[in-house]
Structure 1
């Protein structure tokens, strides 16, 4: 009997793919626990350990299963109230993008009975920095700060931000968020600037969870609880269009993020582990190639080939004798 991958199990458990013939035993452990079971709070880690090999395959080389599951343990109260299939889908998507659900790079939230993977601003930054981006600056502008932005001005003169002195509360409420990228060659990208009104428009038009919470009189959506962090993330999400080499990983992450907003399965958009490994190797090779061009000529140990000058050949002795007799 063939073995189902974790991704196939999630597809079948969520009802997005038909049950293949002859595999009822393999699906029983998922479909039989589809209803939320409160006591799972005590056993959910044991339940996930059954899929340890699948998570080992999903996670990239620089993130092991131990630190990933350590972050998951902090989410137990939330995950225990979610359906197992949606939990697997959210954690699989998070793992395959190489992000840890630690609240800074990504979070796993509960929306009703469904678990949802939400990449945060730092998660997007991490994926951008696997390519040609050296670092990303994301800052919050407050009422008493000195801030000027002229999008038509040359880079370096287009944005000025001088934070006001004092505590954050003394600087006033947040008015803008901006983000820009530094490339490995020392150049800078154009800046993305979002004011509060633009952030609220993104929230109102594109967040299904926020819309449902408002309709039901609740204030527990991620936009309700972490408005500033989602505002910063929205600015970073617009940054890839100013990055010359927006990677396929960033595009896939945005699609997975949008799928979560729409209440759809997210792991379909996550890259396979082999694809993620190839992206990392390509980025490393690109950085090594750029570094090799910066090596001074004096440090090169191998000399360039030089054409040898051949000595002038003397005439044969017999020929010289003939010339002497003729004289």
Structure 2
């Protein structure tokens, strides 16, 4: 079979076709800021540009769908630095990147900046709980040594600092050990260790800062409800006009009269 025939068969019967069949299910969970058609084209493009990914998805299409559903739920674009589609053994793994975690924090609208840095053994680093932010002075042009930890914090719109999260090497190793196949050459922990450490500390920051666009929508909805309730309450206790208080036969039913 020619390469063109193979491509057509893959398009019509392979992972692409399965993704296309479930288009409505995938785009239904996308947050409002993501365009469904664009998202779908990126999903197709990720498959077409990576032969190993396509082969793994052909063998195990269910794992591809699971990864894409998680990608859609988080509001990321598939096959990007925000959300990787990684062929791993006989399945496709969906891995949110450091950029993806930070994007979700920014999308919530509560913070204006996110600071996350990896600390190496030869860096100058100071932090204690009574400090607003860490003091970190790396020598970018010298030998920084191995990674010993990382830290992250958010800066809110009013300029205040969120909780500062600091992780050490022991915690990094624990998270890495819990990641499947982290010692294999294809693992993100082997290929992009610094990025994975940044992602790890950014995930630790999440409980201390809002991290989704839906949070912002919920806050706006709640604010609108409070405003409406306040308006209704004010109207209820507004001093009525004299002709509304009484009719010729006495108080109108349901009115409050002092």
Q: TM-score, normalised by structure 2?
A: 0.68
- Contact 1:178/1:194 (CA < 8 Å) preserved in 2? yes
Write the distance in 1 (CA, Å) between the matches of 2:130 and 2:222.
31
Write the distance in 2 (CA, Å) between the matches of 1:114 and 1:197.
29
SS at match of 1:60: coil
Deviation digits for residues 191-250 of structure 1 (CA, Å, limit 9, x no counterpart): 21223332112211x22333xxx5xxx43223222222111111111113434xx56x6x
SS at match of 1:187: coil
1:95 Cα deviation after fit? 0.7
Deviation digits for residues 277-299 of structure 1 (CA, Å, limit 9, x no counterpart): 5x4422456899xxxxxxxxxxx
Give 1:191's match in structure 2, choosing from 146, 161, 164. 164
SS at match of 1:80: helix
1:146 Cα deviation after fit? 2.2
Write the distance in 2 (CA, Å) between the matches of 1:128 and 1:286.
20
Write the distance in 2 (CA, Å) between the matches of 1:185 and 1:285.
22
Q: Could you say which residue in structure 1 is the equivalent of 2:114?
A: 136
Q: Could you say which residue in structure 2 is the equivalent of 1:175?
A: 148
Q: Could you say which residue in structure 1 is the equivalent of 2:233?
A: none
Point out where structure 1 has 5 or more consecutive residues left out of the alignment. Answer: 1-38, 250-275, 289-327
- Contact 1:145/1:163 (CA < 8 Å) preserved in 2? yes
* Residue 10 of structure 2 corresponds to residue 74 of structure 1: no
Point out where structure 2 has 5 or more consecutive residues left out of the alignment. Answer: 1-8, 225-258
Structure with more contact order per residue of length (Cα contacts < 8 Å, sep ≥ 6): 1
* Residue 20 of structure 2 corresponds to residue 54 of structure 1: no
Write the distance in 1 (CA, Å) between the matches of 2:127 and 2:41.
42
CA RMSD of aligned residues (A): 3.1
- Contact 1:179/1:193 (CA < 8 Å) preserved in 2? yes
Q: Could you say which residue in structure 2 is the equivalent of 1:294?
A: none
Write the distance in 1 (CA, Å) between the matches of 2:100 and 2:122.
30
Give 1:89's match in structure 2, choosing from 59, 62, 66. 66
Q: Could you say which residue in structure 2 is the equivalent of 1:226?
A: 192
Structure 2 vs 1, CA of residues 165 and 90 (structure 1 numbering), >3 Å: closer, same or farther? Answer: closer
Deviation digits for residues 116-153 of structure 1 (CA, Å, limit 9, x no counterpart): 22212222222233153333111122344322122x22
Q: Could you say which residue in structure 1 is the equivalent of 2:10?
A: 40
1:170 Cα deviation after fit? 4.4
Q: Give 1:259-270 correspondences, 5 Å limit.
A: none
SS at match of 1:176: strand
Q: TM-score, normalised by structure 1?
A: 0.55
Matched pairs, number: 209
